[in-house]
Amino acid sequence: MNKLAIVIPFYNIDFFEETLKSVANQTNKGFTLYIGNDASPNDPSPLIEKYFAQENYKYYNYKTNLGGENLVKHWERILENTTEEWFQILGDDDTIAEDFVAEFYNSLARLNEEQINVLKYPINIVDAKSNFIKKSSFSTDILDRKSFIMSRICHSSLSSLSENIFRTAGFQKFKFRHLPLAWHSDDLLIFEVAENNKILYNNTSYVNVRSSGINISSKSDNLKTKALATSEFYKCIILNYYTLFTSNQKEEILNNLKKHYYNSKQKVNLDILFEVLKDNVSRGLKLTKYLF
């Protein structure tokens, strides 16, 4: 039985053939392909049938569009159909290297031995014509989750949903956070599912993540909504996990949050302020330290 589900939430057809081709070209076929059509105006069936026999994929043609309202809800309804122990959610414009699945199986023994719930790959950012823009990777095979989330807060790394494989049991425990546009929902999922503080990083393979100007990540007409989602991201980290971080990390979190509030012209969240004050008191710090 396949241990890996590759889940593709489909809506945009522009680069979908390249995505399908990369899945079809896997050297290791030990995966089950799930495709969920989010009531797209484009029918992907001819492309799917071009690369996969009907018995080699599961297709769900949803009549209600959820991604326009809440992208996470669309991801979740496809995941409800999966039965595999692990899953990847692959963007409908992203591609995976030919050895992506093979490297998952090469990593599986270590994932199980060390009870690691997240496998992460390097990403290549490519443009609409698949031209290479830049690469983002980490230099270690074991990445602790606090270092990962700090790299996202400090903008020192790039991350998306596509280059991660999650243990289904770990996902079921935490699920997705429903942030606007699902912005930072992937970061929080990686951080929370990696509850034993370990993310296994596989530098051998890679995922191509597309910056096309038409997907949520690369669009610029949704910056206000992204800013609101970023505030919710900080709120989740501080209200639920603030005590896990070192004093230096806490200072970095708050400094970056201050910049975010200033740049987005948002007011300080009172729940965050209360949590910071409470933490300062518990550490014997002056109440004025790190205030906004």
Render pLDDT for 143-161 as a digit per residue (tens, 0 to 9). Answer: 999 999 999 999 999 999 9
- d(C-alpha 57, C-alpha 52), whole Å: 7
Q: What is the pLDDT of residue 291?
A: 53
For the beta sheet containing 207-210, the strands, ordered from the edge strand earlier in sequence to the opposite edge, are 95-96, 207-210, 123-126, 132-136
For residues 12-41, average pLDDT = 98
For residues 207-211, average pLDDT = 95
How sure is the predictor about 213, in pLDDT bands with cuts at 50, 70 and 90?
Answer: low
Q: What is the pLDDT of residue 214?
A: 60
- d(C-alpha 231, C-alpha 76), whole Å: 23
Of the given ranges (45-59, 104-118, 262-276), which has the lowest mean pLDDT?
A: 262-276
Domain 4-210 annotated CATH 3.90.550.10: yes
Q: Phi, psi at residue 87, to the nearest 5°?
A: -150, 155
> What would the two tokens of residue 125 be?
């950012």
- d(C-alpha 154, C-alpha 187), whole Å: 13
Residue 115 has pLDDT above 60, yes or no: yes
According to DSSP, the residues that pair with 167 across neighbouring strands are: 86
For residues 57-84, average pLDDT = 95
Q: Is 225 buried (19+), middle (13-18) or exposed (0-12) by CB count in 10 A?
A: middle
Of the given ranges (53-57, 136-140, 216-220), which has the lowest mean pLDDT?
A: 216-220
Residue 215 has pLDDT above 70, yes or no: no
> What would the two tokens of residue 258 be?
């201050």
Render pLDDT for 223-233 as a digit per residue (tens, 0 to 9). Answer: 798 999 999 99
How sure is the predictor about 69, in pLDDT bands with cuts at 50, 70 and 90?
Answer: confident
- d(C-alpha 73, C-alpha 91), whole Å: 15
Average model confidence (pLDDT) for the chain?
A: 93
**For the chain, which residues make up each domain, given as ranges?**
4-210, 223-282
- Residue 120, sorted as left (phi over 0), alpha (psi -120 to 50) or beta, turns out to be beta
Residue 267 has pLDDT above 90, yes or no: no
Q: What is the pLDDT of residue 281?
A: 82
How sure is the predictor about 287, in pLDDT bands with cuts at 50, 70 and 90?
Answer: low
How sure is the predictor about 286, in pLDDT bands with cuts at 50, 70 and 90?
Answer: low
How sure is the predictor about 292, in pLDDT bands with cuts at 50, 70 and 90?
Answer: low
Percent of the residues in the chain that have a pLDDT greater than 90, as a whole number: 84
How sure is the predictor about 218, in pLDDT bands with cuts at 50, 70 and 90?
Answer: very low
Please give the biggest Cα pair distance in the chain: 66
pTM: 0.92
Of 266, 273, 85, nearest to 167 (Cα)? Answer: 85
Residue 282 has pLDDT above 90, yes or no: no
